[in-house]
Amino acid sequence: MKKVGIIGCGWLGYRIAEKISGQYEVFSTTSTQGKVEKLTVKGFKPTIVDFSDEIIIKDIVQWDVLTSLDVVIITIPFSEKSSVDNRLDNLFSFIGDFKGQLFYTSSTGVYPNIEKEYLEADVSPTILRSREG
């Protein structure tokens, strides 16, 4: 069975993992301990890593499963709110000189500039009605 690594198993990476898990062995990364059990239960073999925006992580270790992967899909976001250079440097240290197929996906969301985690429940009924009609 081919092996796929998904770097950033958040909302997008998790959905990709769900779709391909029957055909591929999935390895994943998450930045939080809280997601490890959810990923493990699904069989997505998680590794905790945080590609900090603030600093270049000098001791970041290359992903130990990297040499056995056929494909790596990167779903971690890059935005103006983050320090892209630091995040890229940390990501490149993590994937080293990976020779397999490499895909980068991105998503765009439009949210007010308020520091909080947004949920589906945060969408007003007015916005939902305007999308339907």
In order, the DSSP letters of 32-51 are -GGGHHHHHHHT--EEE---
| Torsion 48-51-55-57 (CA) sign | positive
Task: Please say if the pLDDT value at position 8 is more than 60.
Answer: yes
The residue ranges of every structural domain in the chain are 3-132
Q: Answer yes or no: are the C-beta atoms of 87 and 52 closer than 8 Å.
A: yes
Instruction: Check residue 117 and give its pLDDT.
Output: 74
For the chain, where are the alpha helices, taking DSSP H only? Answer: 11-20, 36-42, 84-95, 125-132
Summarize the confidence of residues 59-87 as an average pLDDT. Answer: 81
The per-residue DSSP string of 70-125 comes to SEEEE-----TTS-HHHHHHHHHHHHTT--SEEEE--------S-SS---GGGS-H
What pTM was estimated for this model as a whole?
0.75
Q: Is the pLDDT of residue 39 over 90?
A: yes
CATH number of 3-132: 3.40.50.920, 3.40.50.1400, 3.40.50.300, 3.40.50.720?
A: 3.40.50.720
Share of the chain above pLDDT 70, in %: 74
In this prediction, residue 82 carries a pLDDT of: 54
Q: What pLDDT score does 35 carry?
A: 93
**Longest CA pairwise span in the chain (Å):** 52
